[in-house]
Amino acid sequence: MPTLMSQGHFEVGFGGVAAVAFFTDKGSPMKIIAPLHTKGDMLVLAPENPAASWQDFVAWVRKTQEPIRIGFKNPVAVAKLIFERALEEEGLTYTSDKSDRTKDILMVHMKGEENLIPGLQNKIIEGYVSNNPWCAIAETKGVGKCVADLNELPPGIWKDHPCCCIAATDSAMSQKKDVIKEFLKLIILATQYANEDPEMHVRDAAEWIGTTTEVEAISLPTSGFTTNPDEEWKKAMQVWIDEMNRLGQLEGKLKGKTGIEIEGILYDFSALNQAAKELKLETWY
């Protein structure tokens, strides 16, 4: 999404917070204009794998002689970054270099989440890290099992981590803020509606995405849905910025930034706050 938006293909998009931060840091004129989704990332292994938990997985990796092949959908995917940090905390090593046989984990770029399940079925990879519903789909098809919720992985900083957001180009926010404000009203109300009626959420998500109610009944409870950029959300976003800085992925506008410095670079909640005000959400702004 950020790639296409930076190329001018559209002005507002849904995508991952880490990816938007990465592009904003590099100078792409875009900002996060609303939170949308938290957590929902899983580690999936083949059904016959002996591991049934994160601790089991770590033990299995340690006793396996060859690198374990774990797939991911794109280089700045939230799930990949969380998983790799957890490996470091466990003292496990990883690489994306296929020729390096000295590491514990070989991270395999599957170039899209739609390739994760076929990769697991065809034994190209032995597991993958991704957001739902791609984990729930594997479970309901009997081709994979979720052994860990990445929300709970070490070092314990990922609780309710921001995952997806709505972003917009700076020009759209400048020239079309009134339209974007009305759009955000719809998103706010839809999010509230979904949270208040989980059964409806399951039915509508299955129909919209093209999955099944069985899949969505497993998938949706692993996620949180919010459009409110409160202090807890901002603190969780700071964890992301700190982590990306630690990895050397931020070398421009966001390098070394904290607190209020980040807000003017990465966020523009002006349309969102106005939408909340007009909807009379008094605890918001």
Q: What is the pLDDT of residue 107?
A: 98
For residue 225, the enclosing domain spans: 2-39+160-278
Q: Which of 111, 133, 152 is the last residue in one of the domains?
A: 152
Q: What is the pLDDT of residue 176?
A: 98
Q: What is the pLDDT of residue 187?
A: 97
Q: Is residue 118 situated within a structural domain?
A: yes
For residues 172 and 11, is the Cβ–Cβ distance under 8 A? yes
Identity of residue 42: M
Q: What is the pLDDT of residue 281?
A: 85
Phi first, then psi: give them for residue 30, nearest 5 degrees.
Answer: -150, 160
* Residue 285 predicted with pLDDT over 60: no
Distance CA 140, CA 48 (A): 15
- Together in a domain, 231 and 242: yes
Length of the chain: 285
Looking up tokens 């930034």 gives 257
Q: Percentage of the chain surpassing pLDDT 90? A: 96
Q: Is residue 215 situated within a structural domain?
A: yes
pLDDT digits (tens, 9 = 90+) for 171-193: 999 999 999 999 999 999 999 99
pLDDT digits (tens, 9 = 90+) for 16-58: 999 999 999 999 999 999 999 999 999 999 999 999 999 999 9
CA angle 258, 260, 261 (to 5 degrees): 60
Please report, for the domain that includes residue 223, its CATH number. 3.40.190.10
Give how many domains the chain has, as a whole number.
Answer: 2
Q: What is the pLDDT of residue 182?
A: 98
Q: Is residue 56 situated within a structural domain?
A: yes
Q: What is the pLDDT of residue 156?
A: 94
Taking all residues of the chain, what is their mean pLDDT, rounded to a whole number? 95
- Together in a domain, 211 and 241: yes
- Together in a domain, 220 and 84: no
